[in-house]
Structure 1
Amino acid sequence: MDASTADRLIESTRELLWERGYTGTSPKAIQLRAGAGQGSMYHHFSGKADLAQAAIRRTADEMRAKAEAQFAAPGPALDRVTAYLRRERDVLKGCPIGGLTQDPEIMADPALREPVEQTLAWLRGRLAEVLQEGRAAGELSESLEPGATAATIVATLQGGYVLARAAGSPEPFDRAVDGVLGLLAAHSTSVQS
């Protein structure tokens, strides 16, 4: 019962939650995908909810780390936001965190909902900080409201995932990103050539 078994169980749960949702993710399916027995699962975790919470937290931590890599990079704020918005994503699978909000069982359980809620709040807050940095550096106009704009960016991304999945094509997501970048560009103070 080593750490690698626990890791395989968490990774398998992450995959299954994204593919099937909480209800469709049975302990047996987790064990089969992880190549672990029932005893191993219950040695490391108290049950499905405990394992799901560990999986959601790992997904949230990973999502934050990927976003932070773009937000903390050198360069103008708009370039950093653009890098975040244009980074490679598996659009047709949806957002691994935002998609969990569609799962009634996860949203009904405060312990499972908490990392989802915290991650989306962190994303809005971190985007607002980057936009504020752009304003302070004179890169973005004072008329841009960082908090509201950050909320708009996150809502656009999440809606873009939904539209792409409905269309069976990443094109609606890409157009949504183009649209939000166009709105941000209108607040840029750099001279357009």
Structure 2
Amino acid sequence: MYSTIMSTHDRLIEATRDLLWERGYVGTSPKAIQQRAEAGQGSMYHHFTGKPALALAAIRRTAGEMRAAAESALGGGGSAYARIEAYLRRERDVLRGCPVGRLTMDPDVIADEELRAPVEETLAWLCDRLAGIVQEGLDSGEFTGPLDPRDTAAAIVATVQGGYVLARASGSPAPFDTAVNGLLTLLTAARSARTAA
């Protein structure tokens, strides 16, 4: 299932990521991980102390990938609006949902402080990064009016996460796109006349 050049360590992490996505923490058994990774019990316990350590490594990798994908859009050139738009419109598997956001729906992940930490840190990082970009737009005069950077950042993250939910509920990416378009319309209204042109 995984690349033959992938190390056993990486196969175990990737298998755990897939299983967490498909079955949640409780449904991800050590035996299922070993079978999916094509690794023996000895290999698993050679690399990880147990399922919690492996789940933590998997969640950290998922969170790291989400940060990298977001930064790819947010760190590009252009205006604050253009960077936010690039983030909102970047390619996503909308019907699959957000791999980090979905972890917030797993009661066993959320109940465990150590497993929850990478999820919480990633969403906080995203809000901080977006708030900084909104503040850049305000400082440069691109955005005008009573636009609070932290509130706006939270609205952007909530739009994306809520868009995933709406899309999955309907079985179509259209509600996600509609939510993004609505948010961008609101941000366009906050742009100064000289930068919106």
Q: If the TM-score is normalised by the length of the shorter chain, which range does it land in?
A: over 0.9
Structure 2 counterpart of 1:166: 169
Moved over 6 A (4+): none
Structure 1 counterpart of 2:78: 75
Cα distance in 2 between the residues matched to 1:43 and 1:3: 16
Deviation track 1:109-142 (CA, whole Å, cap 9, x = no partner) reads 0000000011111111100001111111111114
Gaps of 5+ in 2: none
Letter in 2 for 1:82: E
Percent identity of equivalent pairs: 65
1:3 deviation in Å?
8.0
Work out whether 1:153 is the aligned partner of 2:156.
yes
Work out whether 1:33 is the aligned partner of 2:36.
yes
Cα distance in 2 between the residues matched to 1:30 and 1:72: 35
Within the candidate set 100, 103, 106, 2:106 is matched to 103
Within the candidate set 131, 154, 163, 1:128 is matched to 131
Gaps of 5+ in 1: none
1:190 deviation in Å?
4.1
Report the 3-state secondary structure (helix = DSSP H, G, I; strand = E; otherwise coil) of the residue aligned with 1:51: helix
Within the candidate set 1, 7, 11, 1:4 is matched to 7
Q: Structure 1 residues 79-88 or 132-141, which shifts more?
A: 132-141
**Backbone CA RMSD of aligned residues:** 1.4
Change (3 A) 1:60 1:118: same
Cα distance in 2 between the residues matched to 1:38 and 1:94: 31
Structure 1 counterpart of 2:27: 24
Deviation track 1:25-78 (CA, whole Å, cap 9, x = no partner) reads 111111111111111011101111110000000111111111111111111010
Length-normalised TM-score, structure 1: 0.95
Cα distance in 2 between the residues matched to 1:166 and 1:53: 29
Cα distance in 2 between the residues matched to 1:69 and 1:145: 24
1:24 deviation in Å?
1.6
